Structure 1
């Protein structure tokens, strides 16, 4: 997938869009932050007044000093309380924002076309939805806790400085733009490297996912060293980007600290000179120095966490890039299919290709009557699975139209269309749950007796009962603790339980032994009665009873007819058939 480039400003505006929903919480956070800053900034003034109550030996006003100390203690307690409240509000706000972002990502993921997942690396997508969102979560919490309070501190400190001594306030304000421009200049470059780091982290995650998923194959071909070498290369690239990003971001803090220290020194020098001239009391000078420190602290706080903030924005840009992927077009008016579906399917002048420059299916026409069993055969790459993808509406045709019971596909509600089909693929899929829940995945209101009956028809009840907990046994991810044949039997039982109007069997018995296959074929024949079925098969012995066999080559039907009729034609089908049964 081509990576979209987002500026920091665009990412920040997108974050604000998510934050609009929580206006009251943002206002509460702002109010608590305002109170915290105001209370904390009153302490230097009180400290200065306290110092002025000690003008010299024997002249100390201890009663006045004690009152000031009590007020300072009370303010300190209130400041800590409001600070705690603000942190709680910000924590809630940040995690709600991230929760919304995760929910939107999962929702958006369901709306993307299958073509997107064909091009996207699974590991990189997982990295966006997990690691990048987690990085964003940490950054948004840090931003809420420090950024808003830092801005308020700068503004309110400047006000207090002007009240105490406007000349010194002007000196600090003249230094401020320089700190800002230095931080912006460096942060902009650090952001580029953090974006690169996030992208390469996704590629590393994708590579790791690929290795873990194919570890048996890698070991079988003794490619462990090659995989380690490739991983080291990916890891080194990510490390270089990380070091470059951290190098730039680490420059901000010492440079801004130097400028702030320079400002503090100017305040101390000029303030001390004014105090010597009697134009400024010692207490006021102490307050000014405290405010100079307070004024510099927000800049130091922000720059000290600039690495995390830049990393967070770069991660957020990858998440927003995913959310900006164009979903399937669902703007057309559709309607739900009636309950009773006859199963009549027709394809009229259908053209389709995964890539525009490479033609696959051209001017494809087919009419299937209700209850017919259609077998689809042909060499690898002829378009068999592509035809199934079109029937399931995983891909829309480039041209032409597909009809179900006379209704154009584009006029049928997608969920309603998918309910009409039951599909068993060569590649099985089981979730990490009990056997019972896996089988009733397509019919969640099914009872245990219904599930048992479907399993008996699929000839998997016997081996299920031999499992440690039977139907209550929890399967590992993708049914890893079952054999391939057992997993496929469970998938067949799942479709039998759904009892759909139309069946699609794409090499559904490829992983089952011959004896069990005969039993399953018998169960299929029983289930196929009165139902339309499309069977993709490589073993031609399994489709001899099909009503019609479509022989495909290069995306077109080159032969069509029953098994016996096609053999009599002495064409391509006969060649395929004889190649499977010739003497070895």
Structure 2
């Protein structure tokens, strides 16, 4: 990352504290009081020593000790309160940032999400935001306190002895140069660390989520070896980053110890010349320690800051992505939707220079059942993705009841469509909430009616708490067929104007499938339906069957017409009958 980008990320982080005026005010006041008390304590220590070493000072020692006790006590309370304020300030900001990132992920185009791994995105939202929090806590707890301590200490040392102050200040840049050199190197290594961690998280997500497949292909050793490679890269990047960042403290401490020794030597000479008292030298040496200690803290902060900025960069990279453009303003009256779909010269490719679909033109009358068949990669799912506006065509347009779908907002348009996919998704919630996912205010009676229509009511009532059974594992304890029945019940509850079924009964036994097909027939009445099927028997009664090859519709018609053509559809039907 360039220096300008690093500064930009830090500036953006600081701008996010706007609006938290009260907490920032408390943090500033608390920090000033803490530093002032810390700087004042060496003065009292020097006075106490002089009162003991020199004659006629014993009468004030009691007062000085009482003042020291009050300063230490008050400082202890302030140092207990300040971290609480800092924590609240930072955790609120990072929590809001994390929410913004997740919100942005929900509004990014699928083309962006297709290019990212799930594990890496999870790592950004969780691990990176946590590391960012730790870095910011160090900045507030150590950096600001350290800078203010340095400034007040310089002022106090200047009042005691200007020559020795110049000696301290003259040697300080050496410590800063060492810290700067190391922090620049460690920042690059922390960037490598965050990238390696994202790759490792991605691999873990894949390995754990696909255990059955891995064991089926006996690929455990292969996955383990891949993990070892990724883990080794992550370990190497982490060790390098930690090593370089950890050298800052010893290096700066060496310089600080050198400064302390020189001050003690010059201070002793001044005492012998009568230019200094023992108490003043003690005060000055305490100031020197207070002055150099923040440099150690600040150097540690710089090391941690490099990691925090690398994490912030990955979070801001998501926030900087362009969201889906949604300029549609035409309102949809659900009762007025007829469901006529038209594809006009649609051209599309997932990659701009690789066009999958060329000039697709299709008119689907309202209330018709459209079967879509074709070999793998023919473009069946692509057509559905375009219809759902998961992607927008490169050229041409899709119309609903004669109006381009781009004129509607995506939310309003998708409310008219019900979709059941081959891959079922359930969330960690009750069975009722899973069925009512698209209609959250649905009554229990409506949910039960939808479950009965989907033939899911029987098995639901066998669960420990029926419709109130909480699926902690997001439905993985259910069979694949049971999970798919819940997804089908979700669509029955929604009662959409347009129905999309993509191998919707692929995981259901034959007897239940027949019952579901009858239920679907009732649901399809008066609704436009698109049915993608590999089992051709499920779409033989379609009004129109589209046969797709390489993104184009090569045949269309009803079952009898396509069989008479003796083309691609006839070949697919004959092949399936031979395998039956």
Task: Work out the CA distance in 2 between the residues paired with 1:315 and 1:433.
Answer: 32
Deviation at 1:246, TM superposition (A): 1.4
Task: Work out the CA distance in 2 between the residues paired with 1:109 and 1:567.
Answer: 46
Q: Please list, as runs of the form range in 1=range in 2, the aligned pairs for 1:88-487 lying within 5 A after superposition.
A: 88-304=84-300, 306-330=302-326, 332-340=327-335, 341-487=337-483
8 Å contact kept, 2:344–2:361: yes
Task: Work out the CA distance in 1 between the residues paired with 2:5 and 2:167.
Answer: 33
SS of equivalent residue, structure 1 residue 365: strand
Counterpart of 1:530 in structure 2 is 526
Offset from partner CA, 1:462-486 (integer Å, 9 cap, x none): 1111222211112243311111111
- Is 1:85 the counterpart of 2:81? The answer is yes
SS of equivalent residue, structure 2 residue 351: coil
8 Å contact kept, 1:430–1:477: no
8 Å contact kept, 1:274–1:280: yes
Task: Work out the CA distance in 2 between the residues paired with 1:4 and 1:209.
Answer: 32
Counterpart of 1:22 in structure 2 is 20
Offset from partner CA, 1:512-546 (integer Å, 9 cap, x none): 11111111110001111111111111111111111
SS of equivalent residue, structure 2 residue 548: strand
Deviation at 1:305, TM superposition (A): 5.2
Q: Please list, as runs of the form range in 1=range in 2, the aligned pairs for 1:56-75 lying within 5 A after superposition.
A: 56=54, 59-75=55-71
8 Å contact kept, 2:432–2:444: yes
8 Å contact kept, 1:384–1:552: yes
Deviation at 1:4, TM superposition (A): 10
Query: Which runs of at least 4 in structure 1 moved beyond 6 Å after TM superposition?
Result: 3-6
Aligned counterpart in structure 2 of residue 33 of structure 1, from 31, 34, 38: 31
Q: Please list, as runs of the form range in 1=range in 2, the aligned pairs for 1:552-571 lying within 5 A after superposition.
A: 552-571=548-567
SS of equivalent residue, structure 1 residue 21: coil
Offset from partner CA, 1:328-347 (integer Å, 9 cap, x none): 123x2523312321111111
SS of equivalent residue, structure 1 residue 549: strand
When structure 1 is superposed on structure 2, of 206-215 and 339-348 the one drifting more is 339-348
8 Å contact kept, 1:443–1:498: yes
The alignment's TM-score, normalised by the length of structure 2, stands at: 0.97
Offset from partner CA, 1:181-207 (integer Å, 9 cap, x none): 211111011010011011101100100
8 Å contact kept, 1:98–1:133: yes
8 Å contact kept, 1:337–1:413: no
- Is 1:541 the counterpart of 2:545? The answer is no
Runs of at least 5 residues in structure 2 that lack an aligned partner in the other structure: none
Counterpart of 2:6 in structure 1 is 8
Q: Please list, as runs of the form range in 1=range in 2, the aligned pairs for 1:44-55 lying within 5 A after superposition.
A: 44-55=42-53
Task: Work out the CA distance in 1 between the residues paired with 2:242 and 2:127.
Answer: 18
8 Å contact kept, 2:143–2:301: no
Counterpart of 1:43 in structure 2 is 41
Task: Work out the CA distance in 2 between the residues paired with 1:390 and 1:183.
Answer: 54
When structure 1 is superposed on structure 2, of 489-498 and 568-577 the one drifting more is 568-577
Task: Work out the CA distance in 1 between the residues paired with 2:56 and 2:293.
Answer: 32
Counterpart of 1:503 in structure 2 is 499
The number of equivalent residue pairs is: 579
SS of equivalent residue, structure 1 residue 582: helix
Runs of at least 5 residues in structure 1 that lack an aligned partner in the other structure: none
